[in-house]
Amino acid sequence: MATPTFTQPGILLIDKLPERTSHDVVSRLRRILSTKRVGHAGTLDPMATGLLVMGINGATRLLTFLVGLDKTYTATIRLGESTTTDDAEGEPLGPAPREQLARVSDADIAAGVSTLTGDIMQVPSSVSAIKVDGKRAYTRVREGEAPVLHPRPVIVSRFDVAQIRRADTAIDVDVVVDCSSGTYIRALARDLGFRLGVGGHLASLRRTRVGPFDIAEALVLDDSLEAGEATARTTFALRDPADVAARIFATWNLTAEEEVHLRHGRAAALATPGEGRYAAISAEGRLIGLVDASASGVRILFNMSQESP
């Protein structure tokens, strides 16, 4: 007998394990929940751990509006050697002379971090997923090309040094970073090493927050879980789309008439609730859709009329 398809929409917070790709997490959730409709609101590199925001079934439509949330990372930057990928998975490009590394003081590190804090222009890593003439930069690198990536504005609202650990051949700097979506922590490591004249790369990375969602809320799906237990834990951890949307956007509690208009896409029949983006919630507490409202009227970004049970 075929396994019934899981149809409930929801958002999952997953604590990704090391050496797993974000696609690995998608594939496992598809197997656990017996549904193909699984997505995520922003990848993590295989070496990284931490928070992935996953959408299930109809809630995948909400992910587009979660991708741009700001994020928090804890990381270790290793000063003293650059790599081809700006992280520990790349090929080393040669160590800095020990005497040069020894001259880098804690004050120098703090000054370098300061220059990388605030509204900055950042050149993404050459192995990023940014498209260059229609092809991912990392694909061009694998094909032997050297893609030219242009600086982009990002916001690093916090770049705190938690600890500095010194050895003869390297300085490990543990940091906490709050940043806008699209900020590359690998690039911060690279640029800090460049500013200090000794090279640098990202030795470890963990994402601990996405918008209002914290790693403490996330589910760990380790390999030791049997299929039934994994399904039970995952289903229990599934968050209602209305609850998730209400943590990010203002809420608009719909009347029965307004709900009918929104479900049928009749934006012109809706009176604006006030300027801004709203999660439109039914009287039963279900997410009906997401809208932008202004003085000129309501624009429907999406509705879940065919998605909610």
Question: Are 177 and 18 contacting, i.e. CB atoms less than 8 angstroms apart?
Answer: no
SS3 per residue for 164-195: EEECCCCEEEEEEEEECCCCCHHHHHHHHHHH
For the chain, how big is the Rg over CA atoms in Å? 22
Cα dihedral sign, 235-241-245-251: negative
Query: Residue 160 is inside which H or E element, if any?
Result: strand 152-166
Residues 110 and 195 sit within 8 Å (Cβ to Cβ): no
Residue 45 is a catalytic residue: yes
Cβ atoms of 245 and 287 within 8 Å: the answer is: yes
Cα 240 from Cα 284, distance rounded (Å): 12
CA distance 43 to 111: 30
Q: Using the 8-state DSSP alphabet, how is residue 196 labeled?
A: H
Active-site pick, 45, 86, 178, 191: 45
- β-pair partners for 200: 79
- Strand, coil or helix: what is 98? helix
Q: Which residues pair with 204 in a beta bridge?
A: 76
Is residue 247 exposed (0-12), middle (13-18) or buried (19+ Cβ within 10 Å)?
Answer: middle
Cβ-based neighbours of 207, under 8 Å, separated by 6 or more: 44, 48, 49, 50, 51, 52, 71, 72, 73, 215
Which positions are annotated as active-site residues? 45
